[in-house]
Amino acid sequence: MTTLNTELRTFYEARQQQIPAEIREIMQRAGQELADSGQANHALTVGDKAPHFTLPSATGQTLDLDALLAEGPVVLTFYRGAWCPYCNIALRSLQQHHDAITARGARLLAVSPQIPDESLTLAEKHDLAFDVLSDLGSHTAKQFGLAFDLPDDLTAVYDKLGFDLQRVNDGHPRTLPLPATYVIDRDGVIRWAFVNTDYTTRAEPTDILAALDALS
């Protein structure tokens, strides 16, 4: 069975051939600068207490982390937005494993800085059965130590590509979260964490399931 990261790598290699060299250079330089910044070292990790948050879902609900943890563990994944093809691939993979996650008594939440309408479009496009939440201004991502600002030249590239982050991120076009996934136990403690500055790499669903199994 093909792993998620194998699928992501295959997509990345095909994508690189379609992107002009000057844009590839900007993207690669920004990625290296982010990796060198040590941003990932500031993110919450295993043993840390998950910050409390209340966020709106794509379907108009308001979800409270503490209330969800009273019912069972939570799998919390941060993604950049519906405009990001790597995020789409990762979320589709999580959907394929959603039944296995809920069978272990856990609730899956996906969080991005985009507005609820964009989240709803994404959820409908991929027929997502889990909650997709909007973290406008990346306040929750900041609490988890995941938020960073895009450099000016990469922001300009994204504008040129038509991502329109000014609109979809409700006036916060430069701030995005690092790709991250957490398994949080009922006491609100992070028991497993994946954080990476490389947006083309994501948590493997099989590793998430193993982390949930380890809780019991």
Angle of helix 21-36 relative to helix 152-160, nearest 10 degrees?
140
Cα separation, 78 vs 53, whole angstroms: 14
pLDDT of residue 2: 87
pLDDT of residue 212: 98
Q: Where are the beta strands (DSSP E) in the chain?
A: 54-56, 62-64, 74-78, 107-112, 131-134, 147-149, 175-177, 180-184, 190-195
Q: Using DSSP, state whether 134 is helix, strand or coil.
A: strand
**What is the arithmetic mean of pLDDT over 107-128?**
93
Cα separation, 183 vs 201, whole angstroms: 18
175-191: per-residue pLDDT in tens? 999 999 999 999 999 99
81-107: per-residue pLDDT in tens? 999 999 999 999 999 999 999 999 999
The DSSP H or E segment spanning 74 is strand 74-78
pLDDT at 122 over 90: no
pLDDT at 1 over 90: no
Torsional sign, CA 78, 81, 84, 85:
positive
Query: Could you give the percent of the chain with pLDDT greater than 90?
Result: 93
Across all residues in the chain, what is the average pLDDT?
96
